[in-house]
Amino acid sequence: MEAYRIMEIKEGIFENNENHAQSLREKLKKEKVFLLNLMSSPGAGKTTTLLKTIGQIDTKLKLGIMEADIDSDVDANTISKTGTKVIQLHTGGMCHLDAEMTMQGLEGLGTDELDLVVLENVGNLVCPAEFDTGAVKNAMILSVPEGDDKPLKYPLMFSIVDVLLINKIDALGYFDFDIEAVKERATKLNPNIKIIQISAKTGEGISEWCKWLEEEVANWQQA
């Protein structure tokens, strides 16, 4: 039996993606399923962060992962080795997912008995920020090697996320990266943003990230 499915998804034909996204959230609310949209540049550490997250959270929440890429199944293959429910989504060249594409992915994954589904969106800081996927919350990862100027270059991304994970802090000594500048720039764009410093390599900060996830899922399911 195959460890995961590979699914070709199509861009939605809905003119109003926001309405469709809201309908998806209402559906997820009834099913008590929390959907997190995780975004970042390629190489920022999304999959590695998910691996560390799975290691700490899988005994507390029933978790599913949707891996979105233009092609390949590298990430789904990596996640499948943990035993976590996962599906690989191919976007057919699209650099983002919209609400309809996300719905197709959820149907392919199957959400029965799941508490939390993480959508690992296509890797870039432009297109994914422009489309509401229907997620309950949005998160992004900024890695230290990318530089501290990214809030200045990609303001929309930082303005629409609920939580910012600053990853690879174990490498701070090797890069000219000003964490306080990032915090100031991100907070100016988004006063309500939560910022967590992590190292997906060493595990530093992952417990704080998992605690945030657990609290958000509980709030979603109980409200």
* DSSP notation for 70-95: SS--HHHHHHHTTT-EEEEEE-TT-S
Domains, the chain: 5-10+17-222 (3.40.50.300)
Q: Give the pLDDT score at 205.
A: 98
125-156 residue pLDDT tens: 999 999 999 999 999 999 999 999 999 999 99
- 111 pLDDT above the threshold of 60: yes
Nearest CA-CA partner of 142 in 7, 49, 55: 49
Cβ 7 vs Cβ 67: under 8 Å? no
> What's the alpha-carbon Rg for the chain, to the nearest Å?
16
At residue 92 the predicted structure's pLDDT band, cuts being 50, 70 and 90, is confident
173-210 residue pLDDT tens: 999 999 999 999 999 999 999 999 999 999 999 999 99
What is the average per-residue pLDDT within 106-117? 96
Q: Give the pLDDT score at 72.
A: 81
Q: Give the pLDDT score at 156.
A: 97
Percent helix, strand, coil in the chain (nearest 5)?
45, 20, 35
- 89 pLDDT above the threshold of 90: yes
What is the average per-residue pLDDT within 36-47? 96
- C-alpha separations of 72 from 39, 69, 75, 149, 188 in Å: 18, 7, 8, 30, 37
pTM exceeds 0.85 for this model: yes
- 14 pLDDT above the threshold of 60: no
Cβ 123 vs Cβ 40: under 8 Å? yes
Q: Give the pLDDT score at 10.
A: 65
Cβ 48 vs Cβ 143: under 8 Å? no
Q: Give the pLDDT score at 1.
A: 45
Look at the chain and count its residues. 223
At residue 25 the predicted structure's pLDDT band, cuts being 50, 70 and 90, is very high
Cβ 178 vs Cβ 25: under 8 Å? no
Following CA atoms 31, 34, 35, 41 in sequence, which dihedral angle do they give, to the nearest 10 degrees?
-170
Least confident interval from 1-5, 197-201, 217-221: 1-5
Starting at the edge strand that comes first in sequence, how are the strands of the sheet with 116-120 ordered? 5-8, 85-90, 63-69, 116-120, 34-40, 137-143, 163-167, 194-197
* Average pLDDT of the chain to the nearest whole number: 93
